[in-house]
Amino acid sequence: MVEPIRLTAPSDEATIRKLRAGDHVLINGTILTGRDAAHKRLCELIDAGKADQLPVKLEGQIIYFVGPTPARPGKVIGSAGPTTSSRMDSLSPKLIALGLRGMIGKGYRSDEVRQAMQQHGCVHLAALGGLGALLGKAIKGAKVLAYEELGTEAIRQLDVEDFPAIVAYDSHGENVYEAGVAAYRR
């Protein structure tokens, strides 16, 4: 078995471009959360020419598409399973163009998103759906940074330790979905 790659977040473009589809990673550091509503608000600011007024810095960041459940007493966070990534497809390219280096979710990404990832040096990481409680154990700290009124869809900073994911789409145009089907056909 191949050892997982330890990925520090935030990250830089050179590090992200070394990752290949199928690589197993353990993420350490801080990542952001954001789903549809938060992405929409960020993109409204970008479209209005106010990218300098975003409530979070996107350069180097990894965004986890998650709406965590409330934390139980004594816990940092509740269940934290991934949301379907394609829900952010119309919005992700704008964030990638501003230096977003990674996204974590589940499922396929559009051609437009994949092209933006190749152009700007970004990866899409897959986290396994249905394992929200287990993934939550890798989250050691959580705080709301923006859009608190959105509840679970607020933008949070998560402090993660050995958060497991797989590089589903790399910055070179490869992805595990096509590679997996091709290998199976052989």
pLDDT digits (tens, 9 = 90+) for 76-95: 998 899 999 999 999 999 99
**Amino acid at the residue 75:** K
Q: What does the chain come to in residues?
A: 186
Identify the three-state secondary structure at position 30.
Answer: strand
pLDDT value of position 180: 58
Would you say residue 19 has pLDDT above 70? Answer: yes
pLDDT value of position 54: 98
Q: Determine the Cα–Cα distance for residues 96 and 46; give it in Å rounded to an integer.
A: 12
Tokens of 142: 């959580």
When pLDDT is averaged across residues 116-132 and rounded to a whole number, the result is 92
pLDDT value of position 179: 64
Q: Report the C-alpha dihedral over residues 67, 84, 43, 156, rounded to 10 degrees.
A: 20
Residues 179, 21 contacting (CB under 8 angstroms): yes
Nearest to 98 by CA among 150, 148, 146, 39: 39
Domain residues of the chain, as ranges?
Answer: 5-185
Residues 142, 157 contacting (CB under 8 angstroms): yes
Region of poorest pLDDT, from 24-28, 71-75, 175-179, 181-185: 181-185
**What is the CATH topology of the domain spanning 5-185?**
fumarase (3.20.130)
Q: Determine the Cα–Cα distance for residues 31 and 147; give it in Å rounded to an integer.
A: 16
